[in-house]
Structure 1
Amino acid sequence: MTSSAFKLTHADALVRFPEQRVDTAQRTIGYREAGDKGGKHLSAMPIVMLHGIGSGAASWVRQLETLGNAHQVFAWDAPGYGKSSHVEPASPVASDYADALSDWLDALGIERCVLVGHSLGSLIAGSFAAREAARVAGLLLLSPAAGYGAAPAHVREEKRDARLAMLAELGPQGLAEKRSANMVSAGADDEAREWVRWNMARINPAGYAQATHLLANADLASDLTHYNGRIAVAVGAEDTITPPAACEQISKAANVSLQVIPGAGHAGYIEAPVRYSALIEAFSAQCNGVTQ
């Protein structure tokens, strides 16, 4: 089932989940949230969602809609995105973003959560889980980027510099026009395609550049060896950015079976939101000890 199953457009639905911000001693983090903070959700673990390099908190609007009925759900704008402050280093590593995640969760009073990372967000999620495992009830990686940290230096530099050159040449709008179509499968509907494009066009060039360095420096497989908690890895069968074969290597590093979602591309949670929300819900239920 695709985004056409929802009555409101993505933009109309987003009005229900306005941008918020929280200031810590170190930084500002922007985010969106769903779910009632009182009463009925207290027995369920909060769900925290981390977006990819060309996206933002708004991209999770369909998950905020559906998962917010039974959970507190939080989607951040990573450092350098939306209203969020940049991380300090010009060439950051995953732990720099994990520190920002820790500060944000502290500010929100979230002691433990189910952590969902998509693409580049998986690098941040993996680093955080390796460092603060007690705060992660479960780690769900969707189309995870592996990072190039284990590659030879010249490979890391080539991958980094090629993406930075594309950013300099095209800018956010040009990137969105040129690359957004690659994020979804051939069967994605027009609304899903437009939502991917809209989110990508809103990136902050400086934040995107730092995230490009993160991608070059990170090594998700290595971080996963330091986390012994519950992990699941999923990818769209039609993902051409982090294809199933690449995600299989991440699932092997995590010692879990790879879940392949038929008919979905890289941004599967946008083009097939019902299926991806069900995946997140089922994983969260396992982390909460609920049998489905």
Structure 2
Amino acid sequence: MIFLHGWLHSGRVWKDIAEHFSSAFTTFEVDLPGFGKSSPIQPQNVTMTSYAEYIYHFINEVTNHTQKPVIVADSLSAILCLHILSNHKFKFRHLFLLGCPSDGLPNYIPALSKFIQLNWILRALRGLPDRVLKIFVKDLNVITLWNRSIDANPLIYSIKNVDPQSAHNLLAIMLEPYSPEINYPTSKITLLRGQYDRLAKPKTLEKLSAHLNDAPIIEIPDSGHSVMLENPLKLIECISNHLE
């Protein structure tokens, strides 16, 4: 069972959910290049294709090209899985795409990116004490968080262990909409979103579902974009029900 994180997160955000499923599966909480404990790749190589190929080869390596894994991919990684589906015939038992912003990001984020050097901001944030970062994560993060009662430690860890340039370059790529060209029939795909998700809105998932042979859409209550931290028990229940 492979868990893939979103932008500015790391595999650490999946720790509790992965532990729940570890009695039935071998679980992997993957750090994408430049996030968590993974080394960054060269800035000129930061593309959706290069990151998608990284995930594709990782999946093949840990499954030995024969097993069908369960894959849970959040946000950025959900888009990367769409790239893989467009370019490879890879086997999976079930693919959960969580909070997939396939229509691109809201207009105010590209506007802000023109005036803000994100890489310098991230360098500054990494040097702040944890107690200050906790305020930033829980009180100032209105874009991705709805439930402020979350454990902030996985997000603090992720911010302190991100490569600022990788995050900066990836955000610029994520601004554009992405319509997957799936070249073969897909099944066993479920689209998930938090009830108050500001980045993956209902119309976005409806359009994506149409590209994926009317993949079912499930809404997780009492959560925003970071569902795995805001309502982990409901997310576990949803994944378990579909696997059964």
Asked whether the two chains share a fold, i.e. TM above 0.5, the reply is: yes
Is the 2:102–2:208 contact (alpha carbons within 8 Å) kept by the matching residues of 1? yes
Aligned to 2:215: 256
Looking at structure 1, the residues matched to 85 and 237 of structure 2 have their Cα atoms a distance apart, in angstroms, of 23
Matching of residues 1-20 of structure 1 within 5 Å:
none
Aligned to 2:61: 107
Residue segments in structure 2 that go unaligned for 5+ positions in a row = 127-132
Aligned to 1:55: 9
TM-score by length of 2: 0.79
Residue segments in structure 1 that go unaligned for 5+ positions in a row = 1-46, 150-154, 286-291
| Aligned-partner SS, 2:3 | strand
TM-score by length of 1: 0.67
Matched, 1:267 2:223: no
| Partner AA of 2:223 in structure 1 | A
After superposition, the C-alpha distances for 1:52-102 in whole angstroms (9 at most, x for unaligned) are: 001001010111110111111111111121232334462643221121113
| Aligned-partner SS, 1:135 | coil
| Partner AA of 1:162 in structure 2 | S
Q: Which one of 138, 143, 149 corresponds to residue 182 of structure 1? A: 143
Aligned to 2:118: 167
Aligned to 2:169: 210
| Partner AA of 1:237 in structure 2 | Q
Aligned to 1:130: 86
Looking at structure 2, the residues matched to 76 and 233 of structure 1 have their Cα atoms a distance apart, in angstroms, of 20
> CA 1:257/1:106 → structure 2, altered by over 3 Å: closer, same or farther?
closer
> CA 1:137/1:267 → structure 2, altered by over 3 Å: closer, same or farther?
same
Is the 2:63–2:69 contact (alpha carbons within 8 Å) kept by the matching residues of 1? no
Aligned to 1:12: none
Is the 2:6–2:74 contact (alpha carbons within 8 Å) kept by the matching residues of 1? yes
Aligned to 2:130: none
Moved more, 200-209 or 67-76: 200-209
> CA 1:200/1:217 → structure 2, altered by over 3 Å: closer, same or farther?
same
Is the 1:173–1:201 contact (alpha carbons within 8 Å) kept by the matching residues of 2? no
> CA 1:231/1:101 → structure 2, altered by over 3 Å: closer, same or farther?
same
| Aligned-partner SS, 1:183 | coil
| Aligned-partner SS, 2:218 | strand
Is the 1:196–1:270 contact (alpha carbons within 8 Å) kept by the matching residues of 2? no
> CA 1:144/1:76 → structure 2, altered by over 3 Å: closer, same or farther?
same
After superposition, the C-alpha distances for 1:178-234 in whole angstroms (9 at most, x for unaligned) are: 66453222x441x43454344234321022123224314662x32456552321101
Aligned to 2:129: none
> CA 1:193/1:184 → structure 2, altered by over 3 Å: closer, same or farther?
farther
- Structure 1 stretches of 4+ moved >6 Å: none
Matching of residues 214-225 of structure 1 within 5 Å:
214-216=173-175, 219=178, 221-224=179-182
Q: Which one of 186, 197, 200 corresponds to residue 228 of structure 1? A: 186
Matched, 1:77 2:28: no
Is the 2:43–2:165 contact (alpha carbons within 8 Å) kept by the matching residues of 1? no
Moved more, 92-101 or 137-146: 92-101
| Aligned-partner SS, 1:241 | coil
Percent of residue pairs bearing the same amino acid type? 17
